[in-house]
Amino acid sequence: MRRAEYGACGETIVRYVFMVAFVVVLSLGMNSRLALGWGALNALLEVGMAVLLIRKEFGAPLLRYAAALTVYGLSEICFMSLPLYLVVADFSPDLTFAGAVGLVGLALYTLQRPHRELGLVIVDCCTVTALTFAVILTLRPRLDNALEIATVGVVALAVLGYYVSAQVSGWKLQTELRTARRRAASAQQARTLGQFVGGVAHEFNNDLTVILGNLDLFETLEDPADRAAAIHESRTAAARAALTVQHLMAASGRIRLSPANVPMEGLLFDLGEALTDTLKPDMTVEVMPPDESLVARIDSAALRSCVIQLGLNAQEATGGTGHIRIRTERRATIGELDPTPDAPPPYVVLIIEDDGPGVSDDALPLLAEPFYSTKPPNEGRGLGLSAVAGFIRQSGGGLKLENAPGGGLRVILYFPETGGEDAATTGA
Give residue 424's pLDDT.
Answer: 40
* Least confident residue range of 59-63, 159-163, 383-387: 383-387
Distance CA 283, CA 7 (A): 50
149 located within any domain: no
Regarding whether 264 and 243 lie in a shared domain, the answer is no
Give residue 326's pLDDT.
Answer: 93
Its domain, for residue 231, covers 191-251
> How does residue 292 score in pLDDT terms, banded at 50, 70 and 90?
confident
Contact predicate 343/321, CB 8 Å: no
Distance CA 366, CA 379 (A): 18
Distance CA 79, CA 420 (A): 56
162 located within any domain: no
CA-nearest of 310, 298, 296 to 386 is 310
What are the tens digits of pLDDT across the range 49-60? 888 877 766 667
CATH of the domain at 353: 3.30.565.10
Q: DSSP for 91-144?
A: --HHHHHHHHHHHHHHHHHHHS-SS--HHHHHHHHHHHHHHHHHHHHHHGGG--
> How does residue 284 score in pLDDT terms, banded at 50, 70 and 90?
very high
Phi first, then psi: what are they for 326, rounded to 5°?
Answer: -125, 130
Domain termination residue (choose one: 203, 233, 251): 251
52 located within any domain: yes
Domain termination residue (choose one: 112, 142, 172): 142
173 located within any domain: no
Regarding whether 267 and 322 lie in a shared domain, the answer is yes
Regarding whether 395 and 266 lie in a shared domain, the answer is yes
Regarding whether 202 and 54 lie in a shared domain, the answer is no
What are the tens digits of pLDDT across the range 295-341? 998 888 888 888 888 888 888 888 888 899 999 998 888 777 766 77
> How does residue 1 score in pLDDT terms, banded at 50, 70 and 90?
confident
76 located within any domain: yes
Give residue 303's pLDDT.
Answer: 86
CA-nearest of 303, 300, 301, 269 to 286 is 269
> How does residue 247 score in pLDDT terms, banded at 50, 70 and 90?
low
Task: Supply the Cα-derived Rg of the chain in whole angstroms.
Answer: 33
Regarding whether 62 and 129 lie in a shared domain, the answer is yes
Give residue 425's pLDDT.
Answer: 39
Mean pLDDT in residue range 400-409? 83
Regarding whether 298 and 362 lie in a shared domain, the answer is yes
Regarding whether 214 and 135 lie in a shared domain, the answer is no
Give residue 384's pLDDT.
Answer: 61
Regarding whether 357 and 289 lie in a shared domain, the answer is yes
148 located within any domain: no
* Least confident residue range of 64-78, 165-179, 357-371: 357-371
Distance CA 318, CA 161 (A): 63
Number of domains present in the structure of the chain: 3
337 located within any domain: yes
Could you tell me the strand order of the sheet in which 409-416 lies? 284-288, 323-331, 347-354, 409-416, 398-403
Cβ within 8 Å of residue 426, ≥6 positions away: 262, 263, 266, 267, 270, 300
Phi first, then psi: what are they for 144, rounded to 5°?
Answer: -90, -30
Average pLDDT value over all residues in the chain: 79
Regarding whether 376 and 324 lie in a shared domain, the answer is yes
Regarding whether 138 and 75 lie in a shared domain, the answer is yes
pLDDT at 74 > cutoff 60: yes
Domain termination residue (choose one: 105, 127, 142): 142
316 located within any domain: yes
Is the pTM here over 0.85, yes or no? Answer: no
Regarding whether 369 and 290 lie in a shared domain, the answer is yes
Regarding whether 376 and 283 lie in a shared domain, the answer is yes
Contact predicate 36/23, CB 8 Å: yes
